[in-house]
Chains A and B, each alone.
Chain A
């Protein structure tokens, strides 16, 4: 029997689909598979597409996939949609715009829900990127609505981040400026036939120009492009800019392995540690009922939360250091 990793590398769709599910569901056995896959990663070019709901991200992704396929490039798409904080459920509708690719073996599309708790999204999306990369996809497109720290982090795992806005979003641009806008390598004004496209263009240009010190000495300055994704207008130009950005990255850092550069490795390892510690410690506390007991005690006024936290964490630390001491 081939291992899961071997099946994934051979391009077995079911194995890939199942592995991403296991990653999402936090199955511990995926760790071994991901270890085995890691040496086969680092070849795909990763694009992050982000923007507010309804700006046309999925339609744009659909058109980009179409162009990439015409150039005989294989594509993986990870479409992230929000989980309802109330029910834990999610409606994943990005596929609707991309269905024409479902019979194309060169395209793998997967919808993922943000799931919420404990920053799991970042970790599972990065792992899913690794899986599609190991599977041999030339391009991986990650689409998110781009709100919240998690999604900013996801987008930072991309080589090129594309931010999509629509005309008339002037103030909204300001609202997202502090977060995800700073990570944009290319800006798209989609639905550019609508009123206010020029105003949005000048707003964006002003915003980018305010950071002009950042672009001194030949540093990448984000271009702003108009598009009408639904009519395939401006999509060729977007792909040209993505290619130009790729060439820029190659020229400035010698290769595209930026996720293996020291600062990125540090960041990703911290995220991985956080998630692992939460999994190992918090889950254990939940399963043994200690967590619920502590909550009750605080509610009943028997203990303050700071002491309760000490009581929960100190044995866990002892447990962990004890474990490593044995080795």
Chain B
């Protein structure tokens, strides 16, 4: 209570990818770190994710993608946030993302990409260090 901001994050599954075990484990790790985590559910469009993130007033969106469509879905999310004047919401990504795509995605505005093998502690520490409650 009182003047203390809780970090709020949204864990989202964009596109047709139906594998959300990773996303749920991340959600759980965030919860254990004391964050409030809004989980989107499967098969969300970037439009739906951005609208939900705005309504929920989250500080960060974590996009999980294991099906290869990240090069469209991730930048599209950034683009929509800009259109809505909500680009103060940070976007991170995780999942099966080839190394050669990571640099490009970061150029498009994705703050960080977490690939398989990254420890949960590292991810949580990164969020704590880099995501500011606005």
Contact = CB atoms under 8 A, between A and B. Distances in A.
Interface stretch (B25-33, B92-100, B103-111, B115-123): B25-33
Contacts of A308: none
Contacts of A113: 6, 36
A118 B56 CA distance: 23
Interface in B47-73: 47-48, 51-52, 54-57
Given A25-B5, A103-B47, A89 B52 contact: no
B21 interface: no
A17 B37 contact: no
Contacts of B37: 89-92
User: Secondary structure of the A side of the interface?
Assistant: mixed
Interface in A107-163: 108-111, 113, 115, 117-118, 120
Tell me the interface secondary structure of chain B in the complex.
mixed
A67 interface: no
B3 A95 contact: no
Interface residues of B, number: 33
B41 interface: yes
Given A17-B55, A89-B35, A120-B1, A99 B30 contact: no
Nearest to A115: B1
Contacts of A83: 36
Interface in A14-46: 14, 17-18, 20-21, 24-28
A89 B36 contact: yes
Contacts of B54: 13-14, 17
Nearest to A107: B55
List 8 A-B pairs, minimum CB-CB distance, nearest first: A96-B41, A89-B31, A17-B57, A26-B2, A21-B57, A88-B34, A89-B34, A102-B48
25 contacts: A14-B84, A17-B54, A17-B57, A20-B57, A25-B4, A26-B4, A28-B3, A83-B36, A84-B32, A86-B32, A88-B34, A89-B30, A89-B35, A91-B28, A93-B39, A95-B39, A95-B40, A95-B56, A96-B39, A96-B40, A102-B51, A103-B51, A111-B36, A113-B6, A283-B2
Interface of A: 13-14, 17-18, 20-21, 24-28, 83-84, 86-93, 95-97, 99, 102-103, 108-111, 113, 115, 117-118, 120, 278-279, 283
